[in-house]
Amino acid sequence: MTEKDIENLIARHPESFFPGEGFALVGQQVQLGRCRVDLIFKDRLKRSIIVEVKKGILSREASGQIIEYYGLLKQEKPNEIIELILCANTIPVERRAFLEGVGIECKEIGVALVAQLAQECQYEFSDSVKKENQNEALKRTGTIRSTAVLSSHGNVWIFQANPRRFDILNALADPQLKCQKWLVNDRYRAKIKHGDTALIWMSGKEAGIYALAKIVSDPEEMVDFPEEEKYWVEEADRGKKTLKVLIDIQKDFTNAPLFRTQIKSIPELSNLSILKFSQGTNFPVTQEEWVIIKKFLEESRV
């Protein structure tokens, strides 16, 4: 699921994201001066609506972008009423308060809504298509990559990320970050080991399992890779030497996560540690629980 995929779905199905507004698409990737605007709609009141789409956390820079777009469109059409909407998967409360205070509407676009709509209209996410093409190329060359079975050795752990603190959706999609460094609670320093399996869990309203990873180091004090630093929301979280492990991302389930709501409905997972107490960084998963989780992940469409 890329930023472009979200933009495409909003362009094609605006009523699903903005019910009752009567949005009619004027253009996508509209050239205004030296800038390209993601989306421009007309609403039922004939106002021009500029929509800027961001994947993951809404950045501070996004407000500057959309204000510039407003000025450019206003120069072209000085008599039109123009409204501004910023869309993102996660919008920090304080950022929303500021932006809406200056007249910029903020709209959180949930991963679940995007995934459900894509399934209903048979829209194929561009990153899924890319993976399918890569697998087909491997088959043609005789190098067959199996994606059906998820294997694990050693123990299985849930590693939790707060999407309002760390931009996990974009970090998982970053091709430079197949190997990442993740925090380890000191209580698990002697338990989490090289060779264990990590389930990457995003907390919040759309909590659930978003990726599978292999732990490829024992815990030790280390700083993040430079490529990871930009995904921390606050400067205070960057450059800190803390207890971490190296993990290698094996499979990304962002296009079809196993949501917390689904997990809670599975009786065999009723005692999953993160469901009992969600505050923390690392959560043990029993082998019996892993067998059930693995079955659901293997059935994922991604």
Band of residue 159 on the pLDDT scale cut at 50, 70, 90: very high
Closest by Cα among 211, 213, 200, 201 to 151: 213
Which distant-in-sequence residues (6+ apart) come within 8 Å of 121 by Cβ?
9, 12, 13
Q: What is the average pLDDT across 139-157?
A: 60
Domain covering 148-298, topology? ph1033 like fold (3.10.590)
Q: Which CATH architecture has domain 3-120?
A: 3-Layer(aba) Sandwich (3.40)
pLDDT at position 278 is 87
CA distance 273 to 267: 14
Residue with tokens 């993976």: 131
Is the predicted pLDDT of residue 111 greater than 60, yes or no? yes
Give the predicted TM-score (pTM) of the model: 0.84
pLDDT at position 130 is 61
**Among 96-105, 191-200, 233-242, whose mean pLDDT is lowest?**
233-242
CA distance 1 to 12: 16
Q: What is the average pLDDT across 18-47?
A: 95
Closest by Cα among 196, 287, 205, 187 to 243: 187
SS3 131: helix
pLDDT at position 148 is 40
Q: What is the average pLDDT across 186-206?
A: 95
Is the predicted pLDDT of residue 140 greater than 70, yes or no? no
Give every strand in the sheet of 24-32, ordered side by side.
24-32, 35-42, 48-57, 82-90, 104-108
Q: What is the average pLDDT across 225-252?
A: 92
pLDDT at position 136 is 53
In this predicted model, what pLDDT tens digit does every residue of 33-89 receive, in sequence order?
999 999 999 999 999 999 999 999 998 889 999 999 999 999 999 999 999 999 999
Q: Residue 31 is encoded by which pair of tokens?
A: 């050239």
Q: Could you tell me the residue ranges of all domains in the chain?
A: 3-120, 148-298
Is the predicted pLDDT of residue 276 greater than 50, yes or no? yes
